[in-house]
Amino acid sequence: MPRFASTIEAILYLKAQPLTIAEIAEFAGCDRDTVEEGLIELMEDYARRDSALEVVETPDGYTLQLRETFHHLVQTLVPADLGVGALRTLAAIALKGPISQTDLVDLRGSGAYQHVQELVELGFVRKRRQSDGRSYWLQVTDKFHQYFQLHQLPPEFEQILKSKT
C-alpha cells in the first residue's frame, strides 16, 4: 500500500490548484492531523530529491508546482492558449505574410487588432512599421515555425483559411 504522502501528492497533482488542509482531508477521507503529517513528509521528500517540482504553501492552500528555476521552460514547452479567432489570424499571417495590418483587418475584421497584439506578445508574429508610417508589416517568426513544427505550410491551410474567414 502506498504511503499517505503519495495519496496527497496524487490529489495535488490531479486538482492542479491550491488546496486547503480541509479540502485535502475531504478528498483523502481522513483527518486534518493526518494530512498535516503527510504534507510535511511530502515537502521534505521533494526537498531531498532536488526535483523540478515542489510542494509549497500559498495563501490559498498547498500546491504542487514547478520550481521557479524551471519556469523558463513553460513558454517553450507548454502550448499557447490561442482561441479560434487568433489561430485563424495567425494562419492568415502565415499564408499571406508579410501582410500589412490594414490588409489583415480587411481580411479578418477588426478583431484582428487584438489577435495581432496577442500573437506579438506570444512571439509568433513580428510587427514592424511600414516606410510610410501608416500601418505595420506582419509576418510569422521562427518561434511560429518551431512551435508548430512547420517549415512550409501545407496547401490545406489556405483552403481552411478561405472557408473560415
35 within 8 A of 8, measured Cβ to Cβ? yes
Domain boundaries, the chain: 4-73, 79-164
CATH of domain 4-73: 1.10.10.10
Q: What is the pLDDT of residues 22-60, one digit of tens each?
A: 999 999 999 999 999 999 999 999 989 888 889 999 888
Does residue 152 surpass a pLDDT of 60? no
> Out of 1.10.10.10, 3.90.1300.10, 3.40.50.10150, 3.50.50.60, which CATH number does the structure's domain 79-164 have?
1.10.10.10
Neighbours of 73 (CB within 10 A): 11
CA separation, residue 125 to residues 38, 51, 108 (Å): 47, 35, 16
Measure the CA–CA gap between 77 and 148, rounded to whole angstroms.
11
The per-residue pLDDT for range 84-141, each reduced to its tens digit, is: 888 889 988 988 879 999 999 998 899 999 999 999 988 889 999 988 888 899 999 8
